Structure 1
Amino acid sequence: MIMNTFSDDRPIRAALLGAGYIADWHAAAILATPGVELVAVCDQSRAAADALAQTYGIAAYTDLDKLLSAKVADAIHIVTPPGTHRALAETCLTSGHHVLVEKPVALSGAETAEIQQIATEAGRVFAAGHNFMGTPGYQRLKTRLEAGEIGRVASAEINWNFPMMPLRSGPYGLWLLRDPQNMLLELGPHLFAFAVDLFGPLAIEHLSLSKPVDIPGDTTRPQGWRILASAGDVSITLNLSLVETMDDRSVILHGSTATARYDYAHDVLTVDAENAADIVANPFLRQMGLAGQHLREGVVNGTRQLISLNRKSPYGLSFAGLSGAFYSAIRSGRPLDARFHGDNATLVMQAIDAAIAKMPKPAKKPKPASRAKPKPSVLIIGGTGFIGRDLTRAWVAKGRDVRVLSRGTSGPFDDIADHVELFGANLRDSDQLAEAMEGIEIVYHLGKSMDATWDAALKNDVAITETIAQAAQAAGVKRFIYTGTIASYDMSDPNVTIRESQGFGDDMEDRNIYARSKAECEARLLEMHRKHGLPLVIARPGIVLGKGGPLQHWGIGRWHGAGAVRIWGKGKHILPFVLNEDIAEGLILMAENDDALGQSFNLVGEPMFSATDYFDAIHARLGARIKVKPGNLTAFYASASVKYFLKKQVLRRGGLSNPSLADWKSRAHFSPFDNSLPKKVLGWEPERRRDIFLTKAIDEANLLGF
């Protein structure tokens, strides 16, 4: 029995356990739930906890016991990595708190059942974070099914066709890539939860895997999952496809009366039914009926997002529905809605257990040639990223051992672990950075932070860069190489050729946060070089292509899924493309050449392709015709300005920036580049053969995943 201790005028106090990406969605849902107050966040990372706490004006904790003992919260949203959920849920429940646990709620059906049992014994609510069932459209689907409007359902298809970029581009240290079954544990709950809620317990009959992709330093991971199941007399197919495909996340019910299709990613429900009209009118009326439904869904969803300034997106609504059900059960003392109840969550995880049991035994992970312990002399911050992975392997190929700063103990270098050391360090902690610098001669800072405000950029990017540089100088390293960005240049004028001597301009306040922050980092590092002798070299990579790089590269345009892109500008001028392996070579040359000290280098390849040339080559070589549209940069600027005004004046959000029209034009890379300086000083030779470039940038890059 759930104990209700809340009066109607007493708000339920909520706290977040975990301050990662998904915590923001939970925070927004809590704030949108009447009678609920967001009061605190707890994360082991002080920086992460403080950043989220500052955003929402709440208390920050780094120790769960202190949060619980403070008795500031009644309910806890657990949004930490999946392996921690079981233990954290027990701790919170037994301390008298209600819990909402992000999916997967645990790593097995047995663990999930244990959480529900503990919640029952404690008289507390345990809700599973199966958020997509919280959308308004799903409620309408269930209502129509229960009303008999779909008839008796013979079969169902539940689909997740949505690209999973980390499978091909990293970062590879994520939990979901650690083991092959983790992908099903991470995404499977979305699909299995729909099936269980609609039809009851599942019997898993078959599992097939497809489209394997190589994980650097590891084995392969499947990108396609097809699971056949049944619930009573309903045949169910669950499809997971993670390659670069059009977004289709849907529930399709085939009934005796109608076929219902619910697009849960966009909250669109349509029901296709026969009508009793004559043979001539029937096709027309049937399609007009579908057209009318699509029109209604488009108008409702568009209006909803417009008047809420996109705060009521389908994804946001899904969390709001989940949050509403959770807190309604807490306040009323009545059982939680079955969609999110621990009993259903147990059935979901038991079905996933059964599917995992049908997986083939995974191949053994590659092992290094020897058991030698690395003796690193090169430190790479950002070494698990796109550029960092190639740079790490290039240094190992040259006979150097490398230390890579990493959040985890596994990464894309297991096959060369005798030459690569993964090292965990807090970039804000001078003592930990000093330890990371021990024995190091060359330091690369490839890291970046993506911040929404200038104050956040100063704290998370600029200040951290200074701290890293100070630690490197104190350790007496011979070379400190920082990767800035060509985005810091004003590239809006096609008549101005960009050279390193040009600089960025004195006033960067009208630039986007990323470009401005990188420029500020460069300025402060150069000051340290002039005043204190920091052995600095700055690299500014162009638009980097190659194996492990994304199809949806935002340096080219604004993407609308894998199949459509709006280019920055008309797309006819030459872009500063460069191969990733050439970037790695340039970064190594900067460390080896003393003439590079104190200089900046634009690592831009030979002028070869425009944006439209690039997409034409993808079509010719891969058979994929991506819909390419020119982008009016003035229209982009005007639209962004309106959004900036509304966010500032209506939503009262502070710290935002509104980049200038010149900044928007710079995104098109109108200005050509002169890459003669790195050639002259470093002896750098980027790929100049067009066909070889395209082979490496497209054919070998696995852009589509298959």
Structure 2
Amino acid sequence: MSNKKKVLLVGAGNIAKTHAAALREIPGVELYGVFDVNAATAQGLVKEFGAGRVFNSIEEAAASDADTVHVLTPPDFHLSSAMPFVAAGKTVLLEKPVGVSTAECEQLREAAGQSGAVIGVNQNLVFNPAYVQLKEAIASGRLGKPRYLDYVYEVPLRQLAARQFGHWMFRKPLNILLEQAVHPLSQVLDLAGSVRELSVLAEDPVEISPGVGLHNACQVSLRCERMPAHMRFHVGAEFTVCRMTVVCDDGVAVADMFANQFHTLERTAYMEPVDAWLSARATGQQVKSQGFSVLRDYVIATAKLKPRSDAFYLGMKGSLQAFYQELQSQGKPRIDLDFGAELVSVCEQMAAAFKPLPAGATPVAEPAPTGDLVVVLGGTGFIGSHTVAALLGQGHRVRVMARGVNNLQPVFSRPGVEIVRGDVKNKADLERAIAGAPYVINLAHGGGGANFEAIRAAMVDSAVMVAEVCRAAGVQRMVHVGSIASLFLGDAGETITGATPPDPRPETRADYARAKALADQALMDIHQKTGFPIVLMRPGLVVGSGTSPFHSGLGFFNNDQYCVGWNGGQNALPWVLVGDCASAIVAAVTAPAAPGRAYNLVGDVRPSAREYLADLSRTIGRPLKFVPSSPTGLWLVEMGKWLIKRVTGRAVARPFKRDLMSRGLLAKIDCSNAKQDLGWQPVSDAATFHRQAMAVHAGEGSA
């Protein structure tokens, strides 16, 4: 019989994999079981990490003999997910935030008091390696007494950049603080102590949907138990800074959490000019040494010669390790319910200072359209919002199905638009959404996955199911919006037309392009075998208002400032404005010649990668740089990574030079059939393209 503590994970999303991996490195514990409302996701986690079992219900899990439960569900489900285990008297570790209100924290406290349950919170930034070094340096006394703490938290936000405003963190002003600000605040409270008083200078909110404001930036001054502190909070930043500076009587300590670097500013025994030089040299040596250590550890960890050692993972592992060590040594964790509840309280006080959105103009009533109903699947995104607007402009009624239906753009509140929640991979959802509609536009790609089989199931199988449901429901026409990624575009001497078939060698392409090619081929096979009217739309590099101008068609961006091109960056690229893309999609709904045909959607203004980035740099006033490369060089680098992973036993797909050639978009693309069949007239004026593709981003806020 094992004496290890049995750990149960509730929630099997991405963070669960990090918990499971960290638990492998912590002595005295074992992954006992998993519960998730999606049984397939739970099964996948169990298979990957060797957990004992999958539980069918949360009640079954709460009745099990698990010793400790990690609650890893979304924040608004923390209370309901944790309560059965707290009531059962188990030890519970909640992901941050511990709750979404002080009232929820009190409910947890009351329930724990009655059952004897122990509650901890995973605040992983408290165990960030650079922060731990800073804390140890201050505790040693070599810098003297700490007097003041300053924190700059300027970070990008993937969901914000992708305009995924349906995410929980955007639903009300407090949520962005509970999701993001608790990270730096956890370190502030850990080092400076409990907050006695605070004041907030909030910046103006940004309206992300009608009546919904995003408060993504503020400054907060805090009078804490051990020292005063000031924090700059900004999510959606272009340059990442996550840095704590502590001013002491005899030096300064600086920790950079994301770069995983710590250094100090200290004095020497020498006169001021010499001291300035020696101190600067010592600080520089610290920064140089730590920067090299980060690079060295990354290379060694990638080669599987040592465990994973990036700052995020080490912080997570340190948090879980401390939790179990403190349970064993003192019966309760230091980062407990009280600590987490104070963070929630501080966030509530900050949110109370946020400014409301200014009153908007009363919308002018407009008549509802009376035309044919068009169902748009996955229609709340970038292309979808413009497509819905174009459909309304043509007098169509629109029903939009999407997984997320919160904080949508104004177009989705217009008369004639019906919103239904659903998943394109769920047949019942599709049948409900499509019922009674003569036309369907499929913009949903089905999602991603951990491997190609999962991606194929999400993207290819979902497209086929949409077609089958449409056919069974008597839909008159289905317009499927794919991508030119389904084509091989690496031959500069080839001209691609609407008749060009999907890449005949999809196995040599990256997972996304491979799935797109297979989906296009599967849909054309259905049309040819059954006669069901399907139209394929293959947009190029779609740009315009509502998406980032940093398009992956240019190359890959390790950060927004530098773009490493797929080639030398001198060939014309297949750009298309989102408005032009939407107009072609809408035209394909009723164009007589469209069924059974594929249309490439590329505009007539086609700047090269170098030209586009240089123009964008001038327009938005940022020093953007294009770094030319070669497909051969990129392929050799990818092959080197692949060989290291294979040697260390990791089963990963081999990279193909052919895929990198296609990403360079060298082939000429002919859109004459779209212009002829659909009456399509994309923008041909360079100044108009510049205005709609680039100038629209000048002076934009971070949202």
TM-score w.r.t. length of structure 2: 0.92
1:610 deviates by 1.2
1:327 corresponds to 2:321: no
Q: Deviations over 1:74-120 (max 9, x none)?
A: 32222222111122222222224322212222112342244245345
Instruction: Identify which of 124, 131, 140 aligns with 2:133.
Output: 140
Q: Does 1:277 pair with 2:270?
A: yes
The answer to which of 463-472 and 496-505 deviates more is 496-505
Equivalences for residues 430-441 of structure 1 within 5 A: 430-441=427-438
Q: Report how far residue 406 of structure 1 moved.
A: 2.4
Look up the match of 2:342.
347
Displacement of 1:514 in angstroms is 0.6
After superposition, where does 1:157-176 map in structure 2 within 5 Å?
Answer: 157-167=150-160, 169-176=162-169
Which amino acid in structure 2 is aligned with residue 205 of structure 1? L
Mapped partners of 2:493, 2:605: distance in 1? 15
Is 1:447 paired with 2:441?
Answer: no
Report the more deviating stretch, 511-520 or 551-560. 551-560
**Are 2:22 and 2:317, in contact at CA under 8 Å, matched by a contact in 1?**
yes
Task: Indicate if the aligned counterparts of 1:167 and 1:213 stay in contact, CA closer than 8 A.
Answer: no
Of the three residues 412, 417, 422, the one matched with 1:420 is: 417
Task: State which drifts further: 211-220 or 270-279.
Answer: 211-220
1:272 offset after TM fit, Å? 1.3
Contact map agreement 1:590 1:682 (CA 8 A) in 2: yes
Name the aligned partner's letter for residue 342 of structure 1.
L
Per-residue CA distance 1:549-577 (angstroms, 9 max, x = gap):
12443222221222222122122221111
Give, in whole Å, the separation in 2 of the partners of 1:507 and 1:608.
27
- Does residue 1:609 correspond to 2:603, yes or no? no
Equivalent of 1:698 in 687, 694, 699? 694
State the Cα distance separating 1:395 from its structure 2 match: 1.7
2:535–2:595 Cα contact (<8 Å) kept: yes
After superposition, where does 1:249-268 map in structure 2 within 5 Å? Answer: 249-268=242-261
Match of 2:309, as an amino acid?
A: K
Q: Counterparts in 2 of 1:522-561, with a 5 A limit?
A: 522-561=520-559
Among candidates 290, 293, 305, match of residue 300 of structure 1: 293
Aligned to 2:499: 501
How far apart in 2 are the matches of 1:366 and 1:80? 39
Aligned residue for 1:38? 31
Q: Does 1:631 pair with 2:629?
A: yes
1:242 to 235, 238, 243: 235
Residues of 2 paired with 1:444 and 1:164: CA distance?
30
Identity %: 26
Per mean C-alpha deviation after superposition, the further-off stretch among 667-676 and 264-273 is 667-676
Bigger relative CO (Cα 8 Å, ≥ 6 apart):
1
Indicate if the aligned counterparts of 2:192 and 2:228 stay in contact, CA closer than 8 A.
Answer: no
The reply on whether 1:63 has 2:57 as its aligned counterpart is: yes
What is the RMSD of the two structures over their aligned residues, measured on CA atoms?
Answer: 2.6
CA distance in 2, matches of 1:603, 1:556: 17
**Contact map agreement 1:102 1:129 (CA 8 A) in 2:** yes
Query: 1:368 deviation in Å?
Result: 7.2
Give the letter for the 1:166 counterpart: Q
CA change 1:65–1:368 in 2 (3 A) is: farther
The 1:504/1:408 distance shift into structure 2, 3 A limit, reads closer
User: Which structure 2 residue ranges, 5 or more long, are not aligned?
Assistant: none
> Over residues 524-581 of structure 1, what are the superposed CA-to-partner deviations in whole Å (9 max), with x where a residue is unaligned?
1111111122221111111111111124432222212222221221222211111111
1:312 Cα deviation (Å)? 2.2
Alignment of 1:202-221 (within 5 A): 202-210=195-203, 212-221=205-214
Moved more, 215-224 or 75-84: 215-224
Q: Which moved more, 1:569-578 or 1:192-201?
A: 569-578
Moved more, 129-138 or 404-413: 404-413
Q: Structure 1 unaligned segments of length 5 or more: list them.
A: 1-6
1:401 to 388, 397, 401: 397
Corresponding residue of 1:657: 653
2:674 alignment partner AA:
P
CA contact (8 A) 1:551 1:704 kept: no
Assess if the C-alpha contact under 8 Å between 1:204 and 1:355 holds in 2: no
1:675 aligns with 2:668: no
Q: CA deviation at 1:29?
A: 2.2
Helix, strand or coil for the counterpart of 2:523? helix
Quick one: structure 1 residues 66 and 445, their matched pair in 2 at CA, closer, same or farther if it must change by over 3 Å? farther
Q: Is the 8 A contact 1:243 1:704 kept in 2?
A: no
Does the aligned pair in 1 maintain the 2:619–2:698 contact within 8 Å? no
User: What aligned pairs does 1:176-187 form with structure 2 within 5 A after superposition?
Assistant: 176-187=169-180
Counterpart residue type for residue 544 of structure 1: V
Q: Deviations over 1:361-416 (max 9, x none)?
A: 34568987669999982222221211112112222233323222223442414664
Distance 2:689 2:536 in 1: 25
1:400/1:34 CA distance change after superposition, 3 Å: farther
- Contact preservation (8 Å) 1:109, 1:346: yes
Asked if the contact 2:62–2:84 (Cα under 8 Å) also holds between the matched residues in 1, the reply is: no
Structure 1 residue identity aligned to 2:650: R
SS at match of 1:181: helix
TM-superposed deviation, 1:333: 5.3
The SS at the match of 2:223 is strand
> Structure 2 vs 1, CA of residues 193 and 147 (structure 1 numbering), >3 Å: closer, same or farther?
same
Distance 2:680 2:670 in 1: 13
CA distance in 2, matches of 1:366, 1:433: 37
Q: For residues 245-297 of structure 1, what are the alpha-carbon distances to aligned partners after superposition, in whole Å with 9 as ceiling and x for unaligned?
A: 21111111122211211111122111112222233422321221112111221
Query: How many Å separate the matches in 2 of 1:194 and 1:472?
Result: 53
Residue 193 of structure 1 deviates from its aligned partner by: 0.7
Amino acid at match of 1:140: Q
CA change 1:440–1:37 in 2 (3 A) is farther
Contact 1:133–1:194 (CA<8 Å) still a contact in 2? yes
Q: Paired residue for 2:351, among 356, 364, 372?
A: 356
Secondary structure of the 2:499 match is helix
Q: TM-score, normalised by structure 1?
A: 0.92
